[in-house]
Amino acid sequence: MIPALDEEAALPLVLAELPPGVIDVVVVVDNGSTDRTAEVARAGGAFVVTERRRGYGSACLAGLAALFGEHSESSARIAAPLDDDDVVVFLDADHSDYPEDVARVLEPLFARRAEFVIGSRVKGGADMRAMLPQAWFGNRLACFLMRLFFGARYSDLGPFRAIRVGALKRLCMRDRDFGWTVEMQLKAHVARLATEEVPVRYRPRIGKSKITGTLVGTLRAAWKILGWIFAWRVRLTLSRPGSPRSP
């Protein structure tokens, strides 16, 4: 699954670098692009799902609706619905990730050690030459807060990740924009999913980031990510046994 917004320059490289024989179906979700993103995706052999509502989470939800065989205004059924034992891989369209690392991300799932795998750019040696300083700082802060408030030992909010379909359905994902990655990781921790981080490589993206490339985008992303962390801490505290609002 590759969410994409105005990535006609980078996307062909991403599709060309996916290792053959590892991925069965490639889905590109065109998230309201004004360039030729959808055309280059089809030319590269990908199925294209259109989601005009902007937002990383909106794109992911539309792509999943198509993969799960659900019909909606913004998605079209791609193939037979996935089984719970199938795996969905999420990959960015801007060529910052190395698609060749997908086998490394999938290995813990195929070995049955994990239900959810995060490609860690931090463990892979990425630094501020590849990640903008504000993105690097925000990523480290979010991971610190998740460890402080939840005991969740994550090193990264990396978008390169894989999860088994049955586990993904249990998470009931709903965030439609910048909170998608942190929502998945918090819910995975609370649900006690078997989770593993693997080192992946990272490089400067092609083009300008739609999130951390602008001040407004950076502030919105920070607000959403930190909001998820604090809101979930409050929610879990109130749901403890003996709490007046415990279910």
Supply the DSSP string of 131-148, one letter for each residue.
Answer: S-HHHHHHHHHHHHHHHH
- Residue 234 has which token pair? 């409050």
Residues 6-48 have pLDDT tens digits of: 999 999 999 999 999 999 999 999 999 999 999 999 999 999 9
Q: Band the pLDDT of 75: cuts 50, 70, 90.
A: very low
In this structure, what is the dihedral angle of CA atoms 134, 135, 138, 140, given to the nearest 10 degrees? Answer: -120
30 has which bridge partners? 4, 50
Q: What tens digit of pLDDT does each residue of 131-143 get?
A: 777 778 888 889 9
Mean pLDDT estimate for the chain: 87
Whether the Cβ atoms of residue 22 and residue 102 lie closer than 8 Å to each other: yes
Please give the DSSP secondary-structure letter assigned to residue 97.
Answer: B
| Contact call for residues 115 and 86 (beta carbons, < 8 A) | no
Domains defined for the chain, CATH in brackets? 2-238 (3.90.550.10)
